[in-house]
Structure 1
Amino acid sequence: MKFTDGFWLTREGFDIHHAHNVRDVSIKDKMVTLYAPCKEIRHRGDTLNTPSLTIQLSSSMENVIRVRAWHHKGGVSQTPNFDVKQGLIPLGAVNTKGETNFKSGDVRVEVSHEPFKITFYHDDQVLTKVDPKGVAWIQGPEKESYMRSQLNLGVGENIYGLGERFTPYVKNGQLVESWNEDGGTSSEQSYKNIPFYLSNKGYGVLVNHPENVSFEIGSEAVSKTQFSVEGEMIEYYIIGGSSLKEVLSNYTQLTGTPALPPAWSYGLWLTTSFTTDYNEETVNHFIDGMAERDIPLSVFHFDCFWMKEFEWCNFAWDRDAFPEPEAMIKRLKEKGLKISLWINPYIAEKSPLFEEAANKGYLLKKANGDVWQWDLWQAGMGIVDFTNPSACDWYRSKLKTLLDMGVDSFKTDFGERIPTDVVYHDGSNPKRMHNFYAYQYNQVVFDLLEEERGKREAVVFARSASVGGQKFPVHWGGDCNATYESMAESLRGGLSLSLSGFGYWSHDIGGFESTATPDLFKRWIAFGLLSSHSRLHGSSSYRVPWLFDEEAVEVTKHFSKLKNSLMPYLYGTSVENNQTGIPVMRPMILEFADDPNAHVLDRQYMLGGSLLVAPIMNEDGLGTYYLPHGRWTHLLTKEVVEGGSWKKENYDYMSLPLYVRENSILAIGDQNSRSDYDFSKNVTFEIYELQDGQEASTFVTDVDGNYKGDIKAIKKDNKITIETNMEDLAYSILLNCYKAISSASAGEIETSSNGARIRLQGSQKLEIVL
């Protein structure tokens, strides 16, 4: 929200009161509290009739500083609140004349008293500053109150994140309202608003407010990031780290680390699509057609019309289309498939459940006690009140009945159109609940899946999210169009979400609205099957590949099998995400923060730490991408190229820019027909362009994510030393692009055009002379 009129003036009707100097300091209870009047105090008379701001600094974990500022403290405490790490750690604060200093981990804070200023450092490097006008209480035209904070935006500093945003990837120059809305992927609105941003200067900022946070990113004041909220208090966290990866890791430690999705969820998902006609015969036609064409399929998803029209949600199968749902699910599972069902948190008036939910107080109400209803989406629908524990139990009971039938997962759609003119069971502030509703909704469903299926089997397919929602994977990008432009905006949304703490991300392959051309569909297939999760889904037309053309069948089969063979590598990356919060799909800046060219790249990404993916987004088949410095090997052709420049090449539909980083070891599986198999058995460790004096390593897990062993390779003086602890497991090592091995201390050696393969059994130390 803008409060000024250009650089010199204040907007008519607004009064801005900012901290002028620090008049007093209190250091106790692991907190530093600053008392800052809003004007210069020249004599005792100036202490009268003037507002004052209180600024409190503390830390709940190393390298994280909490800043809380208020004008008036006496307001009633409001709920809900984000689930952030609690507790305080010692700061070792020192107060001297004119200055207060303290630190948390490697993040150091320096407070200047006259004039007021706060500088945040990582070691001796300045991260950002709060200048004298950087904390302000603002009174509006109707005497409403706002709190505003500003942080310095340095030369060359870029801001990223703020949730899944489809606007430009670098957020500088943008006004961002952190307010969940169902706006598709082609507008400034977002399904997943996360009031957290990341700076390429090496820090992050979480504004700890569930309600709307208005961000001005170098837009109102071009040298500042600004964020404001209604009310008398504002709270935010400055999050540091030794790298951008560590900043993200610290953020997820603060707000919650993502769960590890089941391995089967990484395989291809196929849906009925939205408004298409379907029954069991249609479903079997699609599934059998995929099998007949040798396209691996992992999950079949039933979208909205598995229930009767006008009755969403009643959680009951439409028996006209599916007369024997239990038997049907059993038959589908005998084909090796997992089953997903569409749900949302709305109960239509025609649903047999509406009266029960209304009578028991399970739906949101108006102030007069009436059930809040409207006709947008479902006629007369009400909204489940997840602040009511009994409503949560009731909702879970409906889902449990479906799980007992054999359903494995739920697509938790919607959760964004949440009204503010309502009363919640627990008295929550409806403005704070608007975004937070998505968290509670997905938590209820995810927790049920963990209880009923186990921790390693729980997965949802969610559209809406708020802070902490990364704990309930996975999320997809919502309603995109069947165009290359929408494909690009979907990727931008995924990159922004990844830099907001979310480890997993998917999108509707081929676009949701309209029907893609065969050309677009085939290009989107490659992109979709090189994302963490992959789903064929549309609105008014089916998405089976043979309806596009026969080549689409071959492309789908090719990339489905490629992804399945990459599962040991991908699942190892997912285990890393579960432990550290570093996302599976990574914007280039996370891996190449020292390369300024990587700071703005929004049409390519790293899949894990070793694979670079640059989807083709044009009808000419032209791949335009940037390779950072180093030697890169194309995964499919094994061609080795030097990085440090932009590349342009044409690709057919069976390929795209897909490069392996130098000094990488990829764990490749021996199966490509499914995504859930033992990733540690018969695995091949492919070593790529190991440079002299460098070391590479990786590890493998079983299908449940349990550690099974690792491998380390060191190259020195034209000799590679390999150490493993893969006890009692057969595996092999492939040295890509090494055509000649003069000797090896153990193992059976084979050579091919791709390099040399050494087959091994058990834990060994191996020396290879090149």
Structure 2
Amino acid sequence: MERKLLIIILFLFLYNTTFSQSSNYKPKRIIKINKGEKWFGGTVDDGFVMPFTDGYKLNLYGNNKGNQAAPLLLSTNGRFIWSDQPFEFSFSNGQLIIDKALDSVVVVNAGTSLSDAFKLASKKNFAPGGKMPDSLLFSRPQYNTWIELAYNQNQTDILKYAHQVIDNGFPAGVLMIDDHWADYYGKFSFRKDRFPDPASMIDQLHLLGFKVMLWVSPFISSDSEIFQTLNDKKLLLMDNKGDKTLTWDKADQAAIIHWWNGYSALLDFTNPKAVEWYSDQLHNMVTNYKLDGFKFDAGDMEFYSGNMVSFKAASPNEQTSLWGDFGLSYPLNEYRAMWKKGGQPLAERLRDKKHSWEDLQKLIPDITVAGLLGYQFTCPDMIGGGEYGSFIGLAKIDQDLVVRSAQCSALMPMMQFSVAPWRILDSVHLKAVKKAVDIRMAYTPYIMKTVRRSALSGEPVIRNLAYQFPGQGLDTVRDQFMLGDALMIAPLVNKGNSRKIIFPAGKWKYSNGKVFEGPATKTLGVALDQIPVFEKIQ
């Protein structure tokens, strides 16, 4: 009898728990996909598999997949789906299924095209503010010290890297000092063993023509004195010790989170005092060292998904968004993880890609989806790949891959070097990379014009062909893109020296003067130092 009663009590507990969780969700929505209709959106990191096909499924709650995300789906038939909160979506048997939505989900018929859907979604949900990040991010190449120095960031080698940029004929631009410049996370001063005179270093970088950014994150090393101070003041995310009912005022110990550099605590950006503390630290860095801006790394939703309680209730998605809010105070900024910050003057970057042709082929579809989600100021990953692990134990750099990566980036909103091309390339390949930079500089006035227009209109700087040329069956073209509305770029992203190019309807003038008339498909030779660029003339 007692066992039977125990089973009944346990059943009721599990039933009530399940019911209470599921009752937070809005009713499931099943949306019939129209004939020929294709869908994009949700997450930038899966741009390379879009438009979506049957079998795809993703829950946006607590999951930005290492890059930017938004509760937005858009179709080539002019429809869009939006919710103020994350939801799960999947595609099955000609249906789009919306489930586990935490807020109401709207399905809007905005017109007949992908651009119609985007323009209305942007206007209603993430209208542009008319501002853009620091113009130097777009007008010159960027340089990041990560691949060359990794965890050995130091004054001598940073200055050496900067001088090599100039000595090898590359233009000065933004230079980013990456992780491990401090003794530990939360200490906002340069470590003395590696940076004997950081203020002088930054003065020298300025004299060379660089603006200087510094890598920062929301983490605080848990074995530090600063951690103890912040923990006592409750400026960190607190540990609920597995008790979801524990309130912030009752919590007494910071949560310790596992991330790619070990175990640390996280600042609580729902707490105004924590925001003030962090702001003071960065202000002191700017004042003491004359820094120009910051690379705001981490902030991924997965780090906010554990047993933690914040000053004000916030989902993992909202925590990531709050991290993004912080960067709005700095025109010279960069983010990789983001949620619902479309239309804002934040420089975004695609997540780290491997040194491989497969990952190079992801750049175009991923960055075009970034634009569709409102992240128009997006940088492709570091040239040649920014995933440091893919360089470890690498017997030989693929020099063609580095060249084609530079060419793919050259006519995107930004291009960012990290691995030093003058170190890893022979003279022929280095010359080809430098020519890619020269081509970018020649088109810089058009790039800047397009970026400024985007800041006002919200429209993507980089667009897939389906956005610009609806109804022409171009939904799955993943290796060409439009820069604004006038230039079509078809970089080579495969090993070889030729490629198939699809021309939408109209007349297209090649950079060599030859005119092609679309719709048509042509196979053209692409020399090592060539970027196929076509101007729409009709």
Judge same fold: TM > 0.5, yes or no: yes
TM-score (normalizing by structure 2): 0.86
Note the aligned Cα RMSD (angstroms): 2.3
In 2, distance between residues paired with 1:252 and 1:403?
A: 34
- 1:501 is matched with 374
Hey, which of these two has a bigger chunk of strand by percent? 1
1:144 partner letter: S
1:601 partner letter: V
Match of 1:251 among 121, 135, 152: 121
Name the SS for the 1:165 alignment partner: helix
Hey, which of these two has a bigger chunk of helix by percent? 2
In 1, distance between residues paired with 2:284 and 2:453?
A: 34
Could you say if the C-alpha distance between residues 545 and 643 of structure 1 is closer, same or farther in structure 2, counting changes exceeding 3 Å?
farther
In 1, distance between residues paired with 2:62 and 2:420?
A: 28
Match of 2:476 among 600, 608, 613: 600
- 2:246 is matched with none
Name the SS for the 1:397 alignment partner: helix
2:503 partner letter: L
In 2, distance between residues paired with 1:659 and 1:581?
A: 24
1:518 partner letter: Q
Match of 2:414 among 533, 538, 549: 533
Contact 2:235 2:267 in 1 (8 A): yes
Contact 2:255 2:265 in 1 (8 A): yes
In 1, distance between residues paired with 2:420 and 2:165?
A: 11
Match of 1:611 among 472, 480, 487: 487
Query: By how many angstroms is 1:375 displaced?
Result: 4.2
In 1, distance between residues paired with 2:97 and 2:446?
A: 40
In 2, distance between residues paired with 1:531 and 1:376?
A: 31
Name the SS for the 1:270 alignment partner: strand
- 2:8 is matched with none
Name the SS for the 2:117 alignment partner: helix
Contact 1:162 1:497 in 2 (8 A): no
Contact 2:66 2:351 in 1 (8 A): no
Name the SS for the 1:652 alignment partner: coil
Match of 1:445 among 327, 348, 357: 327
In 1, distance between residues paired with 2:21 and 2:99?
A: 16
Query: By how many angstroms is 1:557 displaced?
Result: 2.0
Query: By how many angstroms is 1:413 displaced?
Result: 0.9
- 1:412 is matched with 296
1:530 partner letter: L
Contact 2:413 2:462 in 1 (8 A): yes
- 2:135 is matched with 263
In 2, distance between residues paired with 1:472 and 1:360?
A: 32
Query: By how many angstroms is 1:172 displaced?
Result: 2.8
Contact 1:296 1:561 in 2 (8 A): no
Contact 1:293 1:553 in 2 (8 A): no
Match of 2:311 among 410, 422, 425: 425
Is the counterpart of residue 571 in structure 1 residue 448 in structure 2? Answer: yes
- Equivalence map 1:708-719=2 (5 Å): none
Match of 2:181 among 306, 309, 334: 306
Match of 2:37 among 148, 154, 157: 157
- 2:405 is matched with 524
Could you say if the C-alpha distance between residues 279 and 500 of structure 1 is closer, same or farther in structure 2, counting changes exceeding 3 Å?
same
1:525 partner letter: A
Query: By how many angstroms is 1:621 displaced?
Result: 2.2
In 2, distance between residues paired with 1:169 and 1:361?
A: 43
In 2, distance between residues paired with 1:518 and 1:348?
A: 39
Name the SS for the 2:338 alignment partner: coil
Match of 1:328 among 192, 196, 201: 201
Larger Rg: 1
Name the SS for the 1:306 alignment partner: coil
Query: By how many angstroms is 1:283 displaced?
Result: 1.9
Contact 1:349 1:379 in 2 (8 A): no
CA shift digits 1:413-439 (9 cap, x unpaired): 11112224211102x14xxx2122221
Contact 1:358 1:371 in 2 (8 A): yes
Query: By how many angstroms is 1:622 displaced?
Result: 2.2
Contact 1:195 1:467 in 2 (8 A): yes
- 1:176 is matched with 58
In 1, distance between residues paired with 2:186 and 2:510?
A: 48
Name the SS for the 1:304 alignment partner: coil
The structure with higher relative contact order (CA 8 Å, sep 6+) is 2
1:334 partner letter: L
Match of 1:582 among 452, 459, 472: 459
Is the counterpart of residue 395 in structure 1 residue 278 in structure 2? Answer: yes
Name the SS for the 1:155 alignment partner: coil
**Unmatched segments (≥5 aa) in structure 1:** 1-12, 14-138, 183-188, 450-457, 664-770
Name the SS for the 1:286 alignment partner: helix
Could you say if the C-alpha distance between residues 150 and 292 of structure 1 is closer, same or farther in structure 2, counting changes exceeding 3 Å?
same
- Equivalence map 1:363-378=2 (5 Å): 363-367=236-240, 368-378=251-261
Query: By how many angstroms is 1:325 displaced?
Result: 0.8
Is the counterpart of residue 552 in structure 1 residue 429 in structure 2? Answer: yes
Contact 1:205 1:239 in 2 (8 A): no
In 1, distance between residues paired with 2:200 and 2:225?
A: 24
Match of 1:358 among 222, 231, 234: 231
Query: By how many angstroms is 1:230 displaced?
Result: 5.7
CA shift digits 1:375-433 (9 cap, x unpaired): 4334441111110011111111111112222211211111112224211102x14xxx2
Contact 1:180 1:192 in 2 (8 A): no
Query: By how many angstroms is 1:169 displaced?
Result: 1.6
Contact 1:239 1:250 in 2 (8 A): no
